[in-house]
Amino acid sequence: MRITVIGTGYVGLPTGVGFAELGNDVICLDVDENKIKTLQSGKLTIFEDGLEELFVKNTKNGKIKFSTSFSESIPDADLILIAVGTPPHPITKEADMRYIKAAAAELAHHLKGYTVVAVKSTVPVNTGNMVENIIRRENPNADCDVISLPEFLREGFAIHDFFNPDRIIVGANTERARNVIAELYAPFKDKSTILYVSRQSSETIKYASNAFLAMKIQYINEMADFCETSGADIYEVAKGMGLDSRIGAKFLVPGPGYGGFCFPKDTNAMAYMGKFNGVDLSLIETTIKGNERRKINMAKRILDMVEDIKNPTIAVLGSAFKGGTDDCRESPALQIIEIMLAHEVNIKLYDPEAMPNTKAILKDMVTYTNSAYEAISGADVLAVLTDWDEFKSLDLLKIKQLMKRPQIADFRNIFDCKKAKDLGFEIKSLGRKL
C-alpha cells in the first residue's frame, strides 16, 4: 500500500517506519523543513528504542521517504495518515485544531483517485465531520473517505507498541474504507483485536482511555500518600489491588505526577468538551487539579530537605517526562525544577537523552552535567525525577562519597531504602515503609 503520513513527530515517524517495515511504500511529510532535511540526511529527530535500526534499513531500501511537498506526496497515496499535533489552546485548554485544519485543506487539493484519509492525531469528537467538510469545500470532486484511527502507542515503546498493539480502533462509516484498513492491518489480525466503530465513538475512545489512565495514576499517587501515613507499603497494596482482573496490575506505580504530551492535554481537552456539552466530568477535573498539586508537593518535599542551607545545591536526575524518551513536554521533572528555582537553589541536572530538549526549555537556569555522578557531586540533596534504567544501577556508596550531604528524594522509588538508610542517607521515597 502507498501511505503518506502527515506530521513526522513522536507518532508520525515511528508509525511511518513501522508501516515501511511491513512492506508498504511510505512518505513522511512535514512542514518543518529542518526536520525533513535531518531525516533525509539519515539522522533521526527523536529518540525511541528500536527506531534507529528500522529507520536505517527502510531508508536504505527506499521503503520510506521524507518530503515537505504535498503535491509530491499526496496524489499517489492510497492512505493518508494525519498525525499532526493537537496541542492545548493556551486559554481554553481545548485541543487546538489549527494544524489539523491546515493539513486537511492542503491535502484536499492534491487528492487523486480513491483515498482513505485517516485522522491519527488525538482529536475532539466530530473532527472527522470537520475534516470531511474541509476536504469537500476545498475539492468538491475528491473521492475519499475520512476515518478515525486513533493512536495508542506509548512514548519510549513506540516501536514495540506499533508491532504489538493491544487493540486497533477504527472509526469508519463506509465498507470501502474498512476494507482498506483491514488490508493495512492484515499482519496484525491474529494477534490484536481490530474494533470497527463509528467515527464519533472512535474519537471518544481515545480521550476516554487517556483520561481513565491519568485518573489511575492520580489514584495510586493518592494511595501512596496514604501509605506514608499509615505504615502500609504501596507496592504491596498495588500488587494486591492489581490481582483483581477488574482493576488490572498496570499503571499502579507511584510517581511525581503524570506528564508528557498526551495525558495533561487530553484530560484538559476532555474536561473542556464536558463543559461545552454541559456534562459533569468532575472526576477528570479532580484528577487534573490533583496532578498539579502533586508537583508542587514534590518540589516542597525536596526543598524541605535543604531549608536550613543558604543557596543549596540540588542534583536532579532526569528531565524527560519518563524514562525511554527524550520528550520533555509537560514533564513533571521540569515543572518541579521550575517550582524549586523560585526558591534560590542551584540545580545540577543530568538526563541520558533529554538534554537538548531540556536546554531549549530551561536555557541557563540550571547547570547541565555529562553524567549522573557529575550532577550528584557536591550536592546537598539528590532528587530522582525520571525513571531511567541507568539510574537504577547507580552505586549508593559512591553517591554518598560525592555528596555534601547524604540526602535523597527518590520520587521514582529506584533505590533500596533500607540499604540507603544503613549507609547513613536520609531518604524520602513514595508510599514505602522507610
Which spans of this chain sit near ligand NAD (rule: CB under 6 A)? 6-12, 29-32, 35, 83-86, 99, 102-103, 121-122, 151, 153, 155, 261-262
CB of 224 to ligand NAD, least distance (A): 25
Q: Which is nearer to ligand NAD, 33 or 308 (CB)?
A: 33
Distance in angstroms (rounded) separating the CA atoms of residues 290 and 176 = 45
Q: Which is nearer to ligand NAD, 36 or 414 (CB)?
A: 36
Ordered DSSP codes for 97-140: -HHHHHHHHHHHTT--SSEEEEE-S---TTHHHHHHHHHHHH-T
Neighbours of 242 (CB within 10 A): 15
CB of 74 to ligand NAD, least distance (A): 11
- 28 catalytic per annotation: no
Amino acid at 238: A
Q: Which is nearer to ligand NAD, 85 or 256 (CB)?
A: 85
CB of 222 to ligand NAD, least distance (A): 25
CA neighbours closer than 13 Å in the CB half-sphere of residue 123: 28
Q: Which is nearer to ligand NAD, 147 or 381 (CB)?
A: 147
Core vs surface per residue 370-401: b (16+ CB within 10 A) or e? eebbebbbebbbbbbbbbbebbeebebeebbe
CB of 266 to ligand NAD, least distance (A): 7
Strands (E), 75-226: 79-82, 115-119, 144-148, 167-171, 193-197
Distances (CA, A) of 52 to 14, 63, 396: 10, 15, 33
CB of 158 to ligand NAD, least distance (A): 7
DSSP 41: T
Q: Which of 28, 227, 262, 328 is catalytic?
A: 262
Closest residue to bound ligand NAD by CB:
9
Amino acid at 265: K
Determine the Cα angle at 114 with ends 112 and 119, to 5°: 95
- Kindly list the catalytic residues: 262
